Structures are given as structure tokens and as C-alpha cells.
Amino acid sequence: AQTVTQSQPEMSVQEAETVTLSCTYDTSESDYYLFWYKQPPSRQMILVIRQEAYKQQNATENRFSVNFQKAAKSFSLKISDSQLGDAAMYFCAYRRGNFGNEKLTFGTGTRLTIIP
């Protein structure tokens, strides 16, 4: 079974600085997708960024980027120029790539605090 591990229960960063959240996963599949979701205090789950395993180029969405290391099974999230609105729980998620296997497996989350 696939597992997703987020080893940092809590992180904090000074406003305008850069922070990296870690995620590792375990799978025997070669085709899969990885996601980072943000859950602010409103508790809504919001997709931040996604990565396809067969793409070597790291995904980027504005201030958010990932460092995808397939061999190491690592998928870290970098947030640049941190803003107060980035304060939230962040969840890493995995799903297999083949049709009919769209179920997400989530990590346990990292709570990010932004220090003004």
C-alpha cells in the first residue's frame, strides 16, 4: 500500500521569507501524481500545486514550487515570499496514475505559522 509521510508536524517562517515543507512517499508504481493541498482556518481544502511523476520538470505556481526527487521518493513544497495568508495546514497527497485509481492518500499534514 502507498504511504505518504510528512515528518514536520509544525513549521514557522518569518513573513517574506522562504520555507520548505517536506513530504516523502512509498510506492512501487512508476505512474502516479502528487499534490499539495492547503487547509486554512476556514477548513476548506484548496489545491496548491500538482506534479505528474513522468515529468522531470518541477511544477511551479507563482510563489509555490516543488522539488520532486523521484528516485528518493521526495516531494517538498517551497513557499517563497511568505505571506500571512499562507498560514494553514498543508497536506501532501498521492494517487496512482492508472485509470480507476483516483483515490488520494494523504500525509498527516504540516501546520505552517507565519510570523509577522
Partner 1 sequence: DADVTQTPRNRITKTGKRIMLECSQTKGHDRMYWYRQDPGLGLRLIYYSFDVKDINKGEISDGYSVSRQAQAKFSLSLESAIPNQTALYFCATSEERGYNEQFFGPGTRLTVL
Binding footprint of partner 1 on the chain (CB under 8 A): 4, 9, 33, 35, 42-45, 47, 50, 52, 91, 95, 100, 102-109
- The DSSP line for the chain is --EEE---SEEEEETTS-EEE--EEE-S-SSEEEEEEEE-TT---EEEEEEETT--SPPEETTEEEEEETTTTEEEEEE-S--GGG-EEEEEEEEE-STT----EE---EEEEEE-
Q: How far is the CB of 102 from partner 1 (least distance, A)?
A: 4
Q: How far is the CB of 9 from partner 1 (least distance, A)?
A: 8
Q: How far is the CB of 38 from partner 1 (least distance, A)?
A: 11
